Amino acid sequence: METVLGATTRPWSQCTFAEACAHIAAAGYREVAVFSHAGAIPVTSETSAEEAAAVRDTALTAGVKPTLLLCGVRLDLGVDEAVADHCRLVDACAALGAKWLMNCGTEDPTTYEAFREIMRQCAPYAQEKGVVLNMKPHGGIGLTGRMMVETLEAVGHPNFTLCYDPGNIIYYTRGERRPETDVVDVLGRVATCMVKDCVVVDGKPDVHLLPGEGLVDFRSVLGQLIEGGFNGPLYVECVGGSELDDINDRARRTREFIGGILESL
């Protein structure tokens, strides 16, 4: 089995995008998921094809390929305008050269159906553009694996897919749900995966730590996913640390840790 292990730019959010990509490449990763920098994501629905291509070229020059783009869904616009906005985002994602356009669902129950409808309408358009819509667990509509599958089935289009994030399962349930058992509900349904750990101290969850030092049993979670047919990609999202040299070292150590698990599986 050969599963791609990439990294998000989140640990280097205070760096420029070019700097983040250079650090990611130096840590041994070859694929990058584009997250926020200085409070803004480099590619949005307002980004032109030329601007998105420039972001792609920046990453490639640094030695990494952008394959996933983090995004939001503009539920504040109403369904019709939100669909138009998300389709523009699909275009920008395609110009970036990324296959996956990943959102965090919605935490507001009053917008659950609007979110599902936006995904239903956008999924065919994204498929035509070679972009796959992807939702990660982030509380609300994606609080647990079972709820994610219910959302997947409600949207009902093969181009709307799931990302599994074991750290977030713990974080948003404050430790009441564990990914080692929760993952059973999504087996065979996961297209991408985030590498993120979590601890809960005095009822307060924290994901800013080195994977392997928290509550997530990565060997169990990844083993079950792979046995269920998952073949990647995975992206390292959080590694802890605050100083740049420490973050870079943690990113390298995480690549070795998760890479070792994948190799043994």
Could you tell me the pTM of the whole model? 0.97
- Judged by DSSP in three states, 246 sits in helix
- Give pLDDT, residue 37: 83
pLDDT bin (cut points 50, 70, 90) of residue 9 is: very high
Q: What is the domain-level CATH number for residue 114?
A: 3.20.20.150
* Residue range 111-160, pLDDT digits in tens: 999 999 999 999 999 999 999 999 999 999 999 999 999 999 999 999 99
Q: What is the mean pLDDT of residues 44-53?
A: 98
Please state, rounded to an integer, the average pLDDT across all residues of the chain.
97
Domain count, the chain: 1
The yes-or-no verdict on residue 223 having pLDDT over 60 is yes
- Give pLDDT, residue 72: 96
Q: 204, 247 in Cβ contact below 8 A?
A: no
CA gap 73, 58 in Å, rounded: 26
CA gap 253, 59 in Å, rounded: 22
* Residue range 242-255, pLDDT digits in tens: 999 999 999 999 99
CA gap 8, 41 in Å, rounded: 12
Peptide bond into 42 cis (omega under 30): no
- Give pLDDT, residue 63: 98
- Judged by DSSP in three states, 114 sits in helix
The yes-or-no verdict on residue 110 having pLDDT over 60 is yes
Range of the domain at 33: 5-264
* Residue range 200-216, pLDDT digits in tens: 999 999 999 999 999 99
The yes-or-no verdict on residue 102 having pLDDT over 60 is yes
Token look-up 């250079």 returns: 22
pLDDT bin (cut points 50, 70, 90) of residue 182 is: very high
% of the chain residues with pLDDT over 90:
96
> Radius of gyration over alpha carbons of the chain, in Å?
17
The yes-or-no verdict on residue 2 having pLDDT over 80 is no
pLDDT bin (cut points 50, 70, 90) of residue 39 is: confident
The yes-or-no verdict on residue 1 having pLDDT over 60 is no
